[in-house]
């Protein structure tokens, strides 16, 4: 009676302890505590939990405990029919093996308890009765024979496993759901990066970082197809006759700095095969793949063991007569290397890398279109301003210099001078600098409608001629409006329209006063006057920069914005602007100390 009471109490305590373990929602602590209690019940020296993965019919070492156990074995996997897995699962009952032979053990078993040999092996299947396949098995090492002969202890161990199998199943589902949610969130983050960041190199680095994290790999990389003549041939370019080469564009991983600027012939390697066929390749043992190209490993010191590679496909947008048609083309490939813990790549990994590759291709397409559009845009700007300067031989390169002076002034102005809308993260926004650069370079575009006779007159203009000349500020705005560009360049229009306005209302074309003049208008006005006065005219010689700054300071607060004048003086003093040389922002001329304000003559208005 006393023995029966003790047994009931043992079961009661076991139920309480097992229920406490079942409260864990994380798989790792749940399995660790389950192993601890099983080893305690059976007096085993150690144990391992293998979880079953039906998609690949594999068992993965998920938890290990015991004297001398090696946690590095966690994550290793074997076919489910290897060792004694199949026998235990077929019996669907605990399996006791005494005097265990080597052919009954897995590599994990032999290594798991290196402090002592394995003599006995007790295998308990983890059976989920609602499922058509098991959750896994538990193996307990060196369980004493008298424990196995004790039905109470055997039943208690079996009870623990049966009780916790549903919780193991739920924990695995929660883990998979969390992992899937994490992956989806990262994909959303990448999409946000694409729409919010035009720095394509930065976005591609982020995408590859996400790929490494999502797929749990040691490295990831993007390779792009290039014409052989478009890139430098490196030591990896063995096939000199190859028409195209693959060039490493982005890489992640601890050895990434060793594999920059690598290029290989486009028909080499697993990635070359993927680009040629347009099909993804999963290779969990690259040495078994005839396409594997090992020279990069030998040169970089990175050892490739497994690889997932997908093609990088982009849409080639046809213009001209075929405008609107879209053709898909392969522009490169994306690789993920070495799944951690020796695990193989799954079809889920393939789908996620293909999604990331599509995102990367979108970034590359946007970058290409942006670069081409930006090149085209500035090409037109340069062509237009060159045409302006050619009309007036005395104003050669005036537009470019005014633009450079305006940028220097803007960057020297104190942040307190700017409206908050012009600032970003505690400094002047790059967007505002861009508007200043464009507006200042186009400020004299209206002179294209001024007669050459007026522009080239080698003397002062009469009243009618001056009246016509003053209209160039309005002509410029009208030209942009007529061309349908006013909406696209609305931030730049004040530079065209207001660069001859003065704070006291003495300027033109509107006679604006003080705050009526925009910030960009004030900057370009000072830059324009500085260049006009330091340049030769048919009716006078150029003034020195020091003389010009003295004159501008004398009119500060009356005609010119005083902050803009001082910003110009600082930029000149630092050698950031030079009216005497073609190259600016280089200290080719050491400026003299700018003179203090004196009684200065009024500014001769530049036209």
Is residue 602 very low, low, confident or very high in pLDDT (cuts 50, 70, 90)? very low
Question: In the structure encoding, which two tokens stand for residue 227, read together?
Answer: 């014409």
Q: What is the pLDDT of residues 54-81, one digit of tens each?
A: 766 778 888 898 865 666 677 777 777 7
Q: What is the pLDDT of residues 416-425, one digit of tens each?
A: 999 999 998 8
Task: Inform me whether the pLDDT recorded for 544 exceeds 80.
Answer: yes
pLDDT value for 326: 57
Q: What backbone torsions phi and psi does residue 263 show, to the nearest 5 degrees? A: -140, 145
Q: What is the mean pLDDT of residues 531-541?
A: 82
pLDDT value for 511: 95
Tell me the C-alpha distance between 102 and 325, whole Å.
65
Residues 6+ apart with CB under 8 A from 3: none
Percent residues over pLDDT 70 in the chain: 77
pLDDT value for 67: 64
Q: What is the mean pLDDT of residues 188-197?
A: 61
Q: What is the mean pLDDT of residues 147-166?
A: 88
Beta bridge partners of 227: 244
Q: What is the pLDDT of residues 574-594, one digit of tens each?
A: 988 877 554 343 333 333 333
Higher pLDDT, 486 or 72: 486
Task: Inform me whether the pLDDT recorded for 281 exceeds 70.
Answer: yes
Closest CA to 40 of 66, 63, 15: 66
Poorest-pLDDT segment among 174-178, 303-307, 594-598: 594-598
What string of DSSP letters covers 393-417?
GGGTTHHHHHHHHHHHHHHHS-GGG
pTM: 0.57
Instruction: Give CA separation, 594 vs 191, 526, 545, in Å.
Output: 52, 16, 9
Q: What is the mean pLDDT of residues 155-164?
A: 89
Q: What is the mean pLDDT of residues 145-165?
A: 88
The residue written with tokens 């209690």 in the block is 37
Task: Inform me whether the pLDDT recorded for 406 exceeds 70.
Answer: yes
Q: What is the mean pLDDT of residues 465-492?
A: 91
Q: What is the mean pLDDT of residues 393-405?
A: 84
pLDDT value for 83: 67
Domains of the chain, each with CATH number or no CATH: 2-176 (3.30.450.40), 199-363 (3.30.450.40), 392-573 (1.10.3210.10)
Task: Inform me whether the pLDDT recorded for 100 exceeds 70.
Answer: no
Torsion-angle region of 481 (φ positive above 0: left; ψ -120 to 50: alpha; else: beta): alpha
pLDDT value for 533: 92
Four-residue CA torsion sign, 516, 504, 557, 539: positive
Task: Inform me whether the pLDDT recorded for 552 exceeds 50.
Answer: yes
pLDDT value for 95: 84
Tell me the C-alpha distance between 243 and 240, whole Å.
8
């Amino acid at each position: 009676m006393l023995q029966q009471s003790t047994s009931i109490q043992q079961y009661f305590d076991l139920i309480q302890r097992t229920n406490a373990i079942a409260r864990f929602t994380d798989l790792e602590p749940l399995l660790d505590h389950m192993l601890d209690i099983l080893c305690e019940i059976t007096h085993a020296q150690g144990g391992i939990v293998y979880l079953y993965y039906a998609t690949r019919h594999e068992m993965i070492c998920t938890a290990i405990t015991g004297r001398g156990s090696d946690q590095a074995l966690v994550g290793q996997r074997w076919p489910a029919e290897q060792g004694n897995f199949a026998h235990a699962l077929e019996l669907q009952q605990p399996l006791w093996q005494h005097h265990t032979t080597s052919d009954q053990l897995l590599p994990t078993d032999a290594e798991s308890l290196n402090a002592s040999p394995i003599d006995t092996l007790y295998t308990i299947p983890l059976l989920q009765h609602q499922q058509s396949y098991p959750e896994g098995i538990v193996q307990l090492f060196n369980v004493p024979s008298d424990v196995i002969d004790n039905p109470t202890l055997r039943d208690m161990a079996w009870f623990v496993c049966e009780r916790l199998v549903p919780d193991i199943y739920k924990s695995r589902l929660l883990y998979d759901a969390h992992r899937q949610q994490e992956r989806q969130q990262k994909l959303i983050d990448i999409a946000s990066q694409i729409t919010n960041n035009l720095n394509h190199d930065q976005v591609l680095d982020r995408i590859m970082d996400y790929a490494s994290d999502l797929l749990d790999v040691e490295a990831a990389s993007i390779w792009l197809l290039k014409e052989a003549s478009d890139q430098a041939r490196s030591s990896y370019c063995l096939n000199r006759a190859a028409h195209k080469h693959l060039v490493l564009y982005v890489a992640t991983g601890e050895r990434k700095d060793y594999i920059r600027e690598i290029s290989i012939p486009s028909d080499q390697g697993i990635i070359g095969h993927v680009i040629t066929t347009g099909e993804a390749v999963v290779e969990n043992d690259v040495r078994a793949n005839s396409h594997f190209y090992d020279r990069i490993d030998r040169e970089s010191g990175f050892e490739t063991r497994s690889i997932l590679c997908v093609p990088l496909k982009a849409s080639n947008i046809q213009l001209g007569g075929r405008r609107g048609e879209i053709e898909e083309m392969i522009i490169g490939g994306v690789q993920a290397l070495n799944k951690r813990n020796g695990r193989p790549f799954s079809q889920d990994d393939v789908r996620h890398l293909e999604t990331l590759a599509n995102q990367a291709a979108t970034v590359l397409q946007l970058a290409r279109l942006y670069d081409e559009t930006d090149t085209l845009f500035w090409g037109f700007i340069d062509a237009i301003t060159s045409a302006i300067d050619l009309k007036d031989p005395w104003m050669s390169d005036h537009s470019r210099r005014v633009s450079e002076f305006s940028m220097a002034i803007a960057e020297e102005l104190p942040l307190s001078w700017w409206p908050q809308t012009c600032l970003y993260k505690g400094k002047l926004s790059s967007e505002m600098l861009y508007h200043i650069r464009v507006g200042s370079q186009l400020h004299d575009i209206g002179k294209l409608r001024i007669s050459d006779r007026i522009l080239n007159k080698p003397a002062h203009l009469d009243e009618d001629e001056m009246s016509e000349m003053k209209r160039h500020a309005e002509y410029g705005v009208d030209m942009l409006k007529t061309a349908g560009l006013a909406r696209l360049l609305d931030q730049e229009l004040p530079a065209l329209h207001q660069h001859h306005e003065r704070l006291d209302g003495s300027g033109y074309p509107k006679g604006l006063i003080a705050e009526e003049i925009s910030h960009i208008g004030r900057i370009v006005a000072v830059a324009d006057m500085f260049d006009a006065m330091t340049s030769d005219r048919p009716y006078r010689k150029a003034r020195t920069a020091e003389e010009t700054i003295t004159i501008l300071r004398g009119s500060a607060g009356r005609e010119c914005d005083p902050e803009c004048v001082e910003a110009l003086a600082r930029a000149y003093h630092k050698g950031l602007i030079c009216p005497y040389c073609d190259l600016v922002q280089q200290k080719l001329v050491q400026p003299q100390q700018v003179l203090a304000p004196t009684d200065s003559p009024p500014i001769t208005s530049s036209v």
